[in-house]
């Protein structure tokens, strides 16, 4: 195997098409603009295959690329066979209504299982938890949300984050300032949340109170504040930095989603998100757009942004998969997952 290429991480996170790397994947993953890889269900076959894929990705360059995934639980869990089935976070919210202390303990143990299993196979980071409030309106959020009440979301998400960190993984709160009210799905539409500022403050409460390593803004327009969607808005990202005192990574949501189309083509979208203050930009399920972006975009890079992303790389060794089976915290989390399934 060739020596890893010495290359500082870029501001773009891309995906790949299959279970193994192709020559095109290797070329793109060693492009100076690329700083991370996001995995999907199509990239997963078994724990052993995932380990091999992640090892090859990590060997491509130094510092290593950040390998991320959407692995929240419920219907959003990319790795299935061989991994614990993590329940939807709404199940923890239902338990909170009956037994808050039990729900908090289960959330922490589930966070540990989620992170420990991914890390044991080479994945560094999961885009979780969802901090959106469940108003019973959004089909795309739905049971991905912990609860309708901000206090329940803060307590349960905070416990899940403790579990993630116990296994050496950071967290990403999404979708700032809140995606739970709008009915439209930003994957296929351009949602608009027309509520007033006081209503939005309730949605932001979890983002205000939790210590987050990363935040993902929503592809939602809040016209009471700005005509631009949150991920393209200087106002919203400055509010996150200055008012909420957030110093972690701001990830754009996927720039190939319909909710991002308001900003133009993929290069215009990337520049808009970068200019607004996003540190790393996701482009997923659009290989032609990735090619266009890597060929045409010429951002003014800032080392401080790359340094933020580097902080998301795990700082402690991952547990061996076999050792997890004897870990009492892991066993508790697997049992909690089974009870809540």
CA 287 to chain centroid, in Å, comes to: 20
3-state class (DSSP) for residue 215: strand
CB 138 within 8 A of CB 89: no
How many Cβ atoms from other residues are within 10 Å of residue 321's Cβ?
16
80 is in an annotated binding site: no
254 is in an annotated binding site: no
Backbone phi, then psi, for 143, in 5-degree steps? Answer: -75, 0
- Residue of 337, 314, 306, 312 whose CA lies nearest to 172: 312
Structure tokens at 102: 């039990």
Pairing label, strands 172-176, 214-217: parallel
78 is in an annotated binding site: yes
Cα angle 285, 287, 289; round to 5: 100
- Positions annotated as catalytic residues are 187, 253
70 is in an annotated binding site: yes
CB 170 within 8 A of CB 213: yes
219 is in an annotated binding site: no
CB 183 within 8 A of CB 190: no
Residues comprising the binding site? 70, 78, 144, 174-175
Residues comprising the binding site for substrate? 70, 78, 144, 174-175
């Amino acid at each position: 195997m060739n020596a890893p290429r010495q290359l500082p991480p870029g501001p773009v996170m891309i995906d790949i098409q299959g279970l193994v790397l192709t020559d095109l994947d290797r070329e793109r993953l060693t492009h100076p603009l690329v700083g991370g890889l996001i995995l999907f269900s199509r990239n997963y076959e078994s724990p052993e295959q995932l380990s091999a894929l992640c090892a090859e990705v990590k060997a491509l360059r130094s510092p290593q690329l950040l390998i991320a995934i959407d692995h929240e639980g419920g219907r959003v869990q990319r790795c299935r066979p061989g991994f614990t089935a993590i329940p939807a976070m709404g199940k923890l919210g239902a338990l909170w209504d009956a037994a808050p202390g039990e729900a908090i303990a289960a959330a922490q143990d589930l966070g540990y299982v989620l992170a420990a299993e991914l890390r044991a196979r080479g994945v560094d980071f999961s885009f979780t938890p969802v901090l959106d409030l469940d108003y019973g309106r959004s089909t795309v959020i739905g049971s991905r949300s912990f609860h309708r009440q901000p206090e329940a979301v803060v307590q349960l998400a905070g416990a899940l984050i403790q579990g993630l960190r116990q296994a050496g993984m950071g967290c990403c709160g999404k979708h700032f300032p809140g995606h739970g009210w709008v009915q439209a799905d930003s994957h296929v539409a351009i949602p608009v949340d027309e509520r007033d500022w006081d209503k939005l403050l309730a949605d932001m409460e979890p983002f205000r109170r939790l210590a987050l390593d990363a935040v993902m803004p929503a592809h939602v327009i809040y016209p009471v504040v700005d005509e631009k969607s949150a991920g393209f808005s200087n106002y919203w990202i400055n509010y996150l930095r200055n008012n909420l005192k957030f110093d972690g990574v701001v990830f754009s949501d996927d720039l190939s989603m319909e909710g991002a189309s308001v900003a133009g083509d993929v290069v215009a979208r990337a520049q808009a998100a970068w200019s607004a203050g996003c540190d790393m930009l996701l482009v997923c399920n659009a290989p032609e757009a990735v090619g266009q972006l890597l060929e045409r975009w010429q951002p003014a890079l800032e080392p401080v942004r790359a340094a933020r992303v580097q902080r998301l790389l795990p700082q402690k060794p991952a547990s061996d998969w076999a050792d997890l089976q004897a870990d009492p915290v892991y066993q508790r989390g697997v049992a909690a997952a089974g009870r809540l399934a």
